[in-house]
Amino acid sequence: MRSVQRWWVRLLPLQLVLMMGAIGLAAGVLGAMTIILVRGSFKTAPLPGAPGAESPPSVGAVFTPEVQHWVPKILEWSKEYGVDPNILATVIQIESCGDFMAGSGAGAQGLFQVMPFHFQDGEDPHDPDTNAKRGIEYLIGGLRRADGHVGLAMAGYNGGWGVIDVGWGGWYRETRLYYIWGTQIYLDAIHGKTPAQSAALQSWLNAGGINLCRQAAARLATPTPGTPQPTLQIIPLSQ
């Protein structure tokens, strides 16, 4: 009996080490699960200016005709600011559907729906290049704060950078929807889906985006008689 006790005492340090290791492993797993639950499933993009941040050469087919109208400019802005063009197209889709004269009741303006206080004196908020500059600057700030997490950057673009670290439970419904639509439309873009194949885009259209796109289509329509107008294919989602 005494020999068993002696061995127990001798092995006590090893037991403590094993116990501390088990506790540390459990804490690590719990911490990782907490981050996933709070921050959502990670989808990251190369940060602007970081190694490997070269942008894809094209914009996905998932975007509506009004957004596709801006593809040459989107690719130009993507190269200039080092941001994936599909992220830029996703923001334009949700914010204005390509209407460069769009405005909101809160005062946001233009393609990227930029708030007035982001512009400098004398800048035209409806000039596409100026609007893109200010909108993309804010988007880049969100991407950097979110470590390239596209969904969190989208949430930050809608609700302000402060929501990035708050987590899903502290967001308004509008920001939650923006996160869902933004992430999924972006994923559908890089996976080559069409508008009809994207449940997220159809959800956004059915939630009121269709009216924004009709306004954009009217704005972008040429006065030439007989010119085909942009068309949208809307598939109602099952309840």
The answer to whether 213 and 205 are in contact (CB under 8 A) is: yes
Catalytic member of 66, 76, 80, 95: 95
224: which DSSP letter? Answer: S
Count the alpha carbons within 13 Å of 16 in the hemisphere toward its beta carbon: 6
CA distance 13 to 89: 59
Residue type present at position 11: L
Q: How many residues does the chain have?
A: 239
Alpha-carbon span 189 to 194, nearest angstrom: 8
Rounded Cα distance between 93 and 80, Å, is 20
d(CA 213, CA 93): 9
Residues 6 or more apart from 155 whose CB is under 8 A from it?
A: 163, 164, 171, 175, 176, 178, 179, 182
Known catalytic residue at 66:
no
Q: Which of 208, 196, 225 is nearest to 64 (CA)?
A: 196
Are 151 and 183 in contact by the 8 Å Cβ rule? The answer is yes
Residue 40 φ then ψ, to 5° = 90, 170
In eight-state DSSP terms, residue 233 is -
Q: What is the DSSP letter of 116?
A: G
Active site positions, annotated: 95
